[in-house]
Chain A
Amino acid sequence: MKRSDFLEHVAWTGSGIAWSLSAAGVLTSAPAAAATTTFSFVQISDSHIGFTRPENPDVLGTFTKTIAAINALPQQPAFVVHTGDVTHLAKPAQFDAAKQVLSTLKAPLIVLPGEHDVIGSPRGFFDAFARPDAPNGWFAFDQGGIHFLSLVNVFNFEVDGKLGADQLNFVEKDLAAQKASTPIVVFGHVPLYALFPPWGWTTEDGARVLAALRRFDAVTVLNGHIHQIIQHTDGNIRFATAAATAYPQPAPGAADKPGPLKVADDVLLKVLGYRSVELAGDTPARVADHALG
């Protein structure tokens, strides 16, 4: 992927953000400065395998194209994280098709569920992507001097975006054991802050996690769910929602309702893509989004 192909934005958590909104509503930018890369990973999201509508009749194709682009990176990421809605309707065949594509990744894979992956029951998701270190779905790990938290906020069916007491207790206990200078990166599906509650784009009990993250020098929270790139900073916490690989959704409040957004065929690949994240030492994370076309 050439630098000229960067879509949407390139941003640095904390200071040094360099991005702008074009007249067409597309975020474009270039990095403010080069950094020495010591650790990098890639985020993908919302592949919705099984979706067949005109907004993207070939979600498997765009998903495959995404994975091929990641595999073509000159320096492979430490891992690829899929932040949920792997499937559209949590059907076994949809999980199987997604896994077939994901099995071609060169880098290790982390998958967390979106609400579409747990329709009726989380059983299908766990059958496909269970981890021995995450019996409840959520887990923490350390890699490259960074502390990662992979959270699940889609298991409560009656609220779109809820972590629950058990997970909140896990998070608070886990973060209490970390040094304030340790870079923290958090994964989830639904945004952890109140991005647009009328459409369910919020986590009802996310405030307790954010409170536990306040004492750290630099925190990056990466989500999917809304099928578009939105950056938000709240003190030491940088939030970044990711583009989908399947189809876009309207900007918050820009339509009567959320849902698949039909764009011109020659625009679709420009609003789908993946995200690379780089962290160098104790500097804030660099987040860059890359379009498929």
Chain B
Amino acid sequence: MQRTLIAAAALAACLIGPASAADAAGPGAPMLPSAVTIHIKDFKFNPTPVKIHAGDRVTFINDDDEAHTATANDKSFDSEGLDSGGTWQHVFAKPGTYNYFCELHPYMKATLVVLPAAGAAAK
């Protein structure tokens, strides 16, 4: 990469730092009620496995000093980078077993089981 190319790039040093309030993964993001909170601590997702129902919202909180992600093996969901203290929420609409991991530390693995929505079996 030539220096001239770098010099031509847009500059925005003042924008770095904690995520903005509009960033769902940021510490300032508005939090909605969730069925389960999964903490990321000591390079582990806890609890795991977790059982929820379709339509439930799950909150992920990164309690570690290191950044992590919560990324589905099938890429059906992805928190992207969760900085230390960062939170991310996701609503699981479709029943199934979701294996997920941390992109930055792929040996961190966990499982989330989404059961049919409450009352669906009675229909």
Contacts and interface: CB of A to CB of B under 8 A. Distances in A.
Contacts of B15: 93, 96-97
Interface string A89-117: 11111101101101101111111000110
A102 B6 contact: yes
Contact of A103 (B3, B17, B69): B3
A119 B104 contact: yes
B64 interface: yes
B78 interface: yes
Nearest to B80: A120
B78 A120 contact: yes
A160 interface: yes
Contacts of B16: 49-50, 60, 91, 93-94, 97
B3 A160 contact: no
Interface in B67-90: 67, 69, 71, 73, 78, 80-81, 83-84
A293 to B, nearest CB: 23
A150 B12 CA distance: 28
Nearest to A59: B16
B84 A110 contact: no
B107 A99 contact: no
A142 interface: no
A1 interface: no
B69 A119 contact: yes
B81 A119 contact: yes
Interface in B57-72: 64-67, 69, 71
A9 to B, nearest CB: 27
B1 A96 contact: no
A103 B12 contact: no
A256 B42 contact: yes
A93 B71 CA distance: 23
B51 interface: no
Q: Interface of chain A, helix or strand or loop or mixed?
A: loop
Contacts of A91: 16, 19, 81
A50 to B, nearest CB: 5
Contacts of A158: 73, 101, 106
B66 A258 contact: yes
Contacts of B7: 103
B67 A89 contact: yes
A59 to B, nearest CB: 9
B24 to A, nearest CB: 13
The residue among A97, A99, A106 with the most chain B CB atoms within 10 A of its own CB is A99
A260 B81 CA distance: 16
A251 interface: no
B81 A88 contact: yes
Interface in A174-206: 198, 200
Interface in A36-52: 49-50, 52
A159 B103 CA distance: 8
B64 A109 contact: no
A99 B6 contact: yes
Given A52-B17, A93-B16, A88 B3 contact: no
A216 interface: no
Contacts of A160: 104-107
Given A119-B104, A257-B43, A109 B10 contact: no
B80 A96 contact: no
Contacts of B83: 50, 52, 88-89
25 contacts: A49-B16, A50-B16, A52-B83, A53-B65, A88-B67, A93-B16, A97-B11, A97-B13, A97-B15, A99-B6, A100-B9, A100-B12, A102-B6, A105-B6, A106-B3, A108-B1, A109-B1, A119-B69, A120-B69, A120-B81, A158-B73, A158-B106, A159-B106, A160-B104, A200-B106
Q: Which 4 A-B pairs have the closest CB atoms?
A: A89-B81, A93-B15, A259-B66, A96-B12
